[in-house]
C-alpha cells in the first residue's frame, strides 16, 4: 500500500508530538524519511536529552559548518570538536529547525568540555548556520547565562521576523531587545525577565505596540495597570517575581484598574505582596473565564484583611475556577471554606 506525500504530511502533523512513531518513518523508505525528518528536527531538544543524544545532535550541527568555519575553529586549536570523520549530511537539518533554544546550543558545546575562552568562537561560527536568509524560527529562547556574541547578532534578520513565542532574559543589549520585539507581527507569547527597572519601562513601550497579537504575557516585574490595559486579548498573565532584586519592595497600587479589560483571561499568576488591588482586578476584569489562579508571596502573609478580600473576590467572581493556589492564614479558614463549598 502506497501513500502519497500529502497523506503522509497529514499523518506526521498528527504525530508531531510522538517522536517514537515518527522515528519509525525513517526506516520505511526515502519518501517517508523525507516527510518525517522536517518534523523531527522542528524542535530538537523538546524532550530532555541524554548526553549521548546531545552529542549526536551536536555532531549533526557541526557537519553543516562550512569549510571556512571549520578552518577557523582548527586554527584556534578547537579541532577536537570534530570527533567523527567529516561526512556531508543527507539533509540540511538546520533549515527545518523552527524553535531556537540558545541554552540548548550552549549545553551541547559544554558537553565537549570546551574552554570558556573558546565558547565565544564556537557560538560565532554556529550563529552563521542558524541566523541567515535560509532559516525561519517560530520561537526563540535566550537564557540569562547566555552572554556570547549577543551584541553582534542582527535581531532584524528575516529569520526572526515571524516569531510566535519569545522568551529572553535581558542581557544588557537593550537596543537588540527592542529591535527583536518591534520586528514582530504575529507574536503570541512573550516572557521577559529584566534585571533593571529602568529597562523594563523601555521594554514596556515596545510591547504595547504589539499588544493586539499577544495572548500570553509573563514578566518578572510588576507593570502598572495602564500598561495592562493595552493587552485586550490576553489569555494568560503572569506578573511579578517575589525575588526580583531589580525592584524590591514594589507595591503597585493599580489606581486605574477601570481602564483594564481582559475579557478572555483564563490564567492569572501574580505576586500577592506586590499588588494591593488584586481583588479589585479580579472583580473588574470579570473573572468568569478564569480557570486558574496562582498567587505567590515573599514569605509571611501579614495583611489578613487583604487576604480575606482576595478570597471573597475569587469565589464571588470566578464561577469556572478549576485550580487555585494561594497563601493561607488560619484566621481566614472560615472564608476559604466558602471557596471549597462553591467548587
DSSP letters, 147-159, are -SSGGGS-TTSGG
User: C-alpha grid cell for residue 299?
Assistant: 514569605
Q: Taking the CB of residue 271, how many other CB atoms lie within 10 A of it? A: 23
Find out whether 106 and 119 touch, Cβ atoms under 8 Å. yes
Q: Which of 76, 44, 237 is nearest to 228 (CA)?
A: 237
Rg (CA), the chain: 24
Q: Which of 219, 221, 105 is nearest to 167 (CA)?
A: 219
pLDDT at 237: 93
pTM given for the model: 0.85
Percent of the chain residues topping a pLDDT of 70: 86
User: C-alpha grid cell for residue 66?
Assistant: 562550512
Bridge partners, 178 (sequence order): none
Give the chain's end-to-end CA distance (angstroms, integer): 53
Mean pLDDT score, 270-287: 77
The mean of the pLDDT values for the chain is: 82
pLDDT at 284: 81
Greater pLDDT, 326 or 265 = 265
Model confidence at 245: pLDDT above 50? no
Model confidence at 340: pLDDT above 90? no
pLDDT in tens, 72-104: 988 888 877 776 666 778 889 999 999 999 888
Greater pLDDT, 162 or 23 = 162
Greater pLDDT, 71 or 172 = 71
Burial 165-198 (b: 16+ CB within 10 A, else e): bbbbbbbebbebbbbbbebbeebbbbbbbbbeee
Burial 214-249 (b: 16+ CB within 10 A, else e): bbbbbbbbbbebebbbbbeebbbbbbbbeebebbee
Which is it for strands 216-219 and 99-101: parallel, antiparallel or unpaired? unpaired
pLDDT at 249: 45
Amino acid at each position: 500500500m502506497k501513500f502519497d506525500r500529502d497523506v503522509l504530511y497529514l499523518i506526521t502533523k498528527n504525530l508531531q508530538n510522538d517522536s517514537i512513531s515518527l522515528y519509525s518513518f525513517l526506516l520505511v523508505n526515502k519518501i517517508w524519511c523525507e516527510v518525517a525528518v522536517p518534523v523531527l528536527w522542528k524542535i530538537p531538544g523538546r524532550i530532555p536529552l541524554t548526553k549521548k543524544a546531545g552529542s549526536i545532535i551536536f555532531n549533526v550541527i557541526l557537519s553543516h559548518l562550512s569549510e571556512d568555519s571549520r578552518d577557523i575553529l582548527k586554527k584556534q586549536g578547537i579541532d577536537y570538536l570534530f570527533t567523527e570523520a567529516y561526512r556531508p549530511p543527507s539533509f540540511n537539518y538546520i533549515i527545518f529547525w523552527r524553535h531556537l533554544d540558545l541554552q540548548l546550543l550552549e549545553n551541547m558545546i559544554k558537553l565537549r568540555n570546551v574552554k570558556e575562552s573558546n565558547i565565544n568562537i564556537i557560538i560565532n561560527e554556529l550563529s552563521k548556520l542558524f541566523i541567515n536568509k535560509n532559516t525561519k524560527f517560530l520561537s526563540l529562547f535566550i537564557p540569562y547565562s547566555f552572554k556570547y556574541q549577543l551584541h553582534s547578532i542582527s535581531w532584524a534578520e528575516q529569520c526572526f521576523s515571524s516569531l510566535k513565542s519569545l522568551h529572553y532574559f535581558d542581557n544588557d543589549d537593550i537596543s537588540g531587545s527592542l529591535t527583536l520585539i518591534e520586528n514582530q507581527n504575529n507574536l503570541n507569547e512573550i516572557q521577559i525577565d529584566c534585571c533593571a527597572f529602568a529597562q523594563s519601562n523601555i521594554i514596556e513601550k515596545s510591547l504595547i505596540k504589539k499588544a493586539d497579537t499577544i495572548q500570553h504575557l509573563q514578566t518578572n516585574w510588576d507593570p502598572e495597570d495602564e500598561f495592562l490595559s493595552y493587552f485586550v486579548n490576553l489569555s494568560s498573565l503572569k506578573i511579578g517575581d517575589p525575588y526580583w532584586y531589580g525592584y524590591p519592595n514594589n507595591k503597585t497600587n493599580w489606581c486605574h484598574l477601570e481602564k483594564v479589560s481582559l475579557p478572555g483571561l483564563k490564567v492569572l499568576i501574580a505576586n500577592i505582596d506586590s499588588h494591593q488591588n488584586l481583588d479589585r482586578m479580579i472583580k473588574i476584569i470579570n473573572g468568569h473565564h478564569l480557570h486558574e489562579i496562582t498567587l505567590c508571596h515573599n514569605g509571611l502573609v501579614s495583611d489578613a484583611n487583604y487576604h480575606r478580600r482576595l478570597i471573597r473576590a475569587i469565589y464571588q467572581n470566578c464561577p469556572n475556577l478549576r485550580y487555585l493556589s494561594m497563601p493561607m492564614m488560619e484566621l481566614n479558614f472560615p472564608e476559604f471554606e466558602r471557596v471549597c463549598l462553591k467548587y
